[in-house]
Amino acid sequence: MRLHKDPKRSESSRRWLQRQIKDPYVLRSKKEGYRSRAAYKLLELNEKYHFLKPSLTVLDLGAAPGGWTQVAVPLVKSTSENPSVFAFDILPMEALEGAVVFEGDFMDDVVLKNLEEQIGGKVDVVLSDMAPSATGHAATDHLRIVGMVEAAYDFAQHILKPGGAFVAKVFQGGTEKDLLLLLKQDFEKVHHAKPPASRKESSELYVIALGYGKGKSVAKEETVKRNVEG
């Protein structure tokens, strides 16, 4: 049976290709050797919020093709002999010097235990630039990305060290506010930002949560404890 071409998909693909060809970040990534233009989003976010520093341990969720991992490796000074950057994705990812690459589904209950054993404990930073495949329906796509980010954060809660950071992609649409409120209960500081490398027409935002375990709920518990002891 002969399949007919979808004119809408063809037009969409054509526009995407034209945008890629003209995109200065795409051209720059090829020139500078990054696997994706997304690398510049992480560079710009870190330049402002400084969550990637030497000696920190980093877990990059949904890492393929590896743009964010590439950025993290030199910033935390991870080496092949003493790796402190761990890239994780359900899709295969080409090996990257200075990083350890894992393949699997982070939503699998067995994965967390195995991952902690291989990493050797917990991590200082969890990164997530994940996004589900778009359906074309804005409301549905928004709910799916928020659901994925919430799953990533649920995973991060089990593997983050006290004082750690969580950086993830979300999309504007209203329900991301619930996620921000949740993060503010667990982190000392929570920011949301749109880096210059993020396309203007895109509704994507990034949450940058710093100081895990030092949020409002923890502070409230400590205040109550001091009052009881006093």
pLDDT at 22 over 80: no
User: How many Å apart are CA 189 and CA 202, to the nearest integer?
Assistant: 25
User: Over the stretch 156-188, which tens digit does the pLDDT of each residue have?
Assistant: 998 999 999 999 998 776 556 778 888 999 999
pLDDT tens, position by position, 35-83: 999 999 999 999 999 999 999 999 999 999 999 999 999 999 999 999 9
Distance between CA atoms of 173 and 162, rounded to whole angstroms? 30
pLDDT in tens, 125-153: 999 998 776 666 666 776 777 788 888 99
Global pTM? 0.82
Quick one: DSSP state of residue 4?
P
Q: Is 30 a catalytic residue?
A: no
Q: Which CATH number fits domain 38-229: 3.40.50.300, 3.40.50.620, 3.40.50.150, 2.60.40.420?
A: 3.40.50.150
C-alpha count within 13 angstroms, C-beta hemisphere, residue 105: 5
Q: Please, are residues 152 and 61 in contact by the beta-carbon 8 Å criterion?
A: yes
Q: Are 212 and 159 in contact (CB under 8 A)?
A: no
SS3 209: strand
Q: Which of 30, 122, 169, 220 is catalytic?
A: 169
